[in-house]
Amino acid sequence: MWRLSAILVFAASPALAADKPFFSLANTDFIVWIGFLLFVGILIYFKVPGMLSGMLDKRAEGIRFDLEEARSLREEAQSLLASFERKSAEVQEQADRIVAAAKSDAEEAAEQARKDLDASIGRRIQAAEDQIASAESAALRSVRDRAISAAVAAAGEVLARDMDAARSEALFDDALARVKAKLH
């Protein structure tokens, strides 16, 4: 391959179109051409194209390795992102459940407080009604006792005014006869 290149370079040289003889040391194009061939020959002798090729291959391999590493890091980052998004969704769901449970507990506590308040009010109303009934009963007993006392006093006065000895004996005998009849 390199031989074909050298032949093509030589054939396409503008020095061949010159009117002086090409293969003369007085021709600078010939000297430059020989220097170029020597330079290329030295490069080939010391295997510089192979070293350049090896260096380029190493560089390509390094770039390929860096690309693979970047790809794996990208995939790892995507998996971490997906994991964090999943965890974020789980945490959000858990927070929603906690809020819902707190709302439910608060509603239950409020309902229980309402029930307790209603029961307390009912007990107080019942206690007040019982006190009122007791006060009414005591007032009625007091009025009845005073009415009885007044009636007994009035009856005593009426009986004392209308009572004489004969009538008193007749009432006593009648009461005694009743008691005897009931005892036997």
Q: What is the pLDDT of residues 35-90, one digit of tens each?
A: 999 999 999 999 988 999 999 999 999 999 999 999 999 999 999 999 999 999 99
* Average pLDDT, integer, range 167-172: 79
Hey, what long-range contacts does 169-173 have (CB within 8 A, 24 or more apart)? none
Structure tokens at 142: 């007091």
Does 101 have pLDDT greater than 80? yes
Phi–psi pair at 22, nearest 5 degrees = -75, -40
Q: Where are the domains of the chain?
A: 88-184
Round to whole Å and give the CA distance between 121 and 115.
10
Report residue 5's pLDDT band, with 50, 70 and 90 as the boundaries: low
Averaged over 9-21, what is the pLDDT?
Answer: 57
Cα separations in angstroms, 73 against 1, 21, 152: 42, 65, 115
Q: Which two tokens stand for residue 42?
A: 């030295």
Give the Cα separation of 6 and 25 in Å (integer).
Answer: 20
The least confident of 9-13, 127-131, 140-144, 169-173 is: 9-13
**For the ranges 10-24, 84-98, 162-176, which has the lowest average pLDDT?**
10-24
Q: What is the pLDDT of residues 145-158, one digit of tens each?
A: 888 888 778 777 77
More confident residue, 23 or 65: 65
Query: Which pLDDT score, from 0 to 100, does residue 86 have?
Result: 94
What local confidence, expressed as pLDDT, does residue 139 receive? 87
Q: Is the pTM of this model over 0.75?
A: no
- The confidence band for 164, taking pLDDT boundaries of 50, 70 and 90, is confident
Mean pLDDT of the chain: 85
Separation CA 68–CA 66 (nearest Å): 5
